[in-house]
Amino acid sequence: MSLEMKHVFYTYQEGSPTESHALQDICLNINEGEFLGIVGHTGSGKSTLIQHLNGLLKPTKGEVLIDGININQKEAKAKRKEVRLKVGLVFQYPEYQLFEETVEQDIGFGPRNLGLSDTEVQERVKEAMALLKLDYKTLRKQSPFDLSGGQKRKVAIAGVLAMKPKYLVLDEPTAGLDPRGREEFLEQLAVLHRQGMTIIMVSHSMDDMAKYAQRMIVMDHGQIQLQGTPQDIFSQPEQLQQIGLDVPSLSRLLLRLKQRGLDVRTDLFDIEAVKTEILRAMAAREGKLTC
């Protein structure tokens, strides 16, 4: 079971003088259960790519398959709708899309539209709120507009989770959150991932990618330039710099120490592992000096 893009091209305003080739020959396979990170400079095509995953955008050329079903094929209309529901898409700043009078109504909007009973909708709302650590009792009757920025964002994301998607796609979900809110949110995402949800996350933060993604793709001018584990990707700092991207801050530190002659590994991102490695390298150097 997977999400698949086969030779996907996408052109905005095709045929007009302002046409823009946003995606060019994208081939990508996202397996169920993965945590995939998507990075790339601004305008590289990240948002365009993810909007293909639930059929919001239709390829100019190429195919998108959800669990083997071509989601843009006219013949399979009923099936198409069903499979598209497997993918929950969270836009950047999703809180701008809140519109109902209460938190409960907002989160329950999608499930209600699926035709579920009141009890089922309520269950879904409760479950989605619990997943994001939003307190049902205190928040359910509140207006979403009276909440803090971080809470609003969680309510918006809970609305997507209440649809029980198999694949959760998020476009820069931590943009604008303070460091604590950001960390908390990413930890909750990691919990959802451990519970079996497939996560696809666009982010500008290499530190977050190093910490959470199992696999990454790097976009540049509508194409996938690099893909692999964070270790693979961040061991190529020159290629990243060529396309205007950087490595995580801990990798930068290790690279600088290496340039200054300390024999350290540069493929570690966890603060404890980095500390141990630096101490090891320093001890080894001192050992050499005393011999």
Ligand X SMILES: Nc1ncnc2c1ncn2[C@@H]1O[C@H](COP(=O)(O)OP(=O)(O)OP(=O)(O)O)[C@@H](O)[C@H]1O
Phi, psi of 216 (to 5 degrees): -135, 150
**52 three-class SS:** coil
Report in angstroms the alpha-carbon separations of 123 from 101, 162, 193, 242: 19, 9, 21, 49
Burial (CB count <10 Å: 0-12, 13-18, 19+), residue 176: middle
* Residue 122 sits in the site that holds ligand X (CB under 6 A): no
Q: Which stretch binds Mg ion (CB under 5 A): 39-47, 54-62, 120-128, 274-282?
A: 39-47
Query: How near is the Cβ of 64 to ligand X at its closest, in Å?
Result: 15
The interface partner of residue 149, options being ligand X, Mg ion, none and the CB cut-off 5 to 8 Å by kind, is none
Site for ligand X in 14-73 (CB under 6 A): 20, 22, 40, 42-48
Count of residues for the chain? 291
| Token output for 198 | 């497939």
**Binding-site member from 47, 72, 214, 231 for Mg ion (CB under 5 A):** 47
Contacts of 206 (CB under 8 A, 6+ apart): 39, 234, 245, 246, 247, 248, 249, 251
Smallest gap from residue 143 Cβ to ligand X (A): 29
Q: Which is nearer to ligand X, 149 or 244 (CB)?
A: 244
Give which of Mg ion, ligand X, none residue 235 binds (C-beta under 5 to 8 Å, depending on kind): none
Rounded Cα–Cα distance for residues 255 and 253 (Å): 5
42 binds, among Mg ion, ligand X, none (CB under 5 to 8 A by kind): ligand X
The listed partner (Mg ion, ligand X, none) that binds 244, CB under 5 to 8 Å by sort, is: none
Name the segment binding Mg ion (CB under 5 A); options: 9-17, 40-48, 104-112, 155-163. 40-48
Interface ranges with ligand X (CB under 6 A): 12-13, 20, 22, 40, 42-48
